[in-house]
Amino acid sequence: MRTTENQNKHDKAVAYWAQHLVEQGWQKVYVDLPGKAKPPQIGDYIPDIYGSYNQQEIVIEVETEDSKNLEHSRLQIVAFNSWKNQSPSRRFLLKMA
């Protein structure tokens, strides 16, 4: 379970990496933050960030010190890596907040 401080750190990092994708030219960027368009579900999980550009897709998951070793986080990483491995046009990045 994330503390309020780490949740804020997480949300700021999600916003930062989403903005980074936009600045790199990714055409569609979705973020799992309040009031924003949600990323598509991958397996049983919604990633923090999903972007697409032409035929390329990217998923970014942001973890904090208190979430990185949780079973939920481990299962997300497995699901997102599996998704990535289904196509050479997909990327998955794990970032620490």
φ, ψ for residue 78 (rounded to 5)? -60, -45
Region of residue 54 (phi > 0: left; psi between -120 and 50: alpha; otherwise: beta): left
The number of beta carbons lying within 10 Å of the beta carbon of residue 88 is: 9
Which residues, 6+ apart, have CB-to-CB distance to 58 below 8 Å? Answer: 21, 26, 49, 50, 51, 52, 90, 91, 92, 93
Per-residue pLDDT of the chain (97 residues; tens, 9 = 90+): 568 898 999 999 999 999 999 999 998 999 999 999 999 999 999 999 999 999 999 999 999 999 999 999 999 999 999 999 999 999 999 999 9
Report pLDDT for 51: 98
Domain 4-96 bears CATH identifier 3.30.70 = no
CA neighbor of 97 nearest in space, from 72, 53, 71, 60: 60
* pLDDT (0 to 100) of residue 39: 98
pTM: 0.94
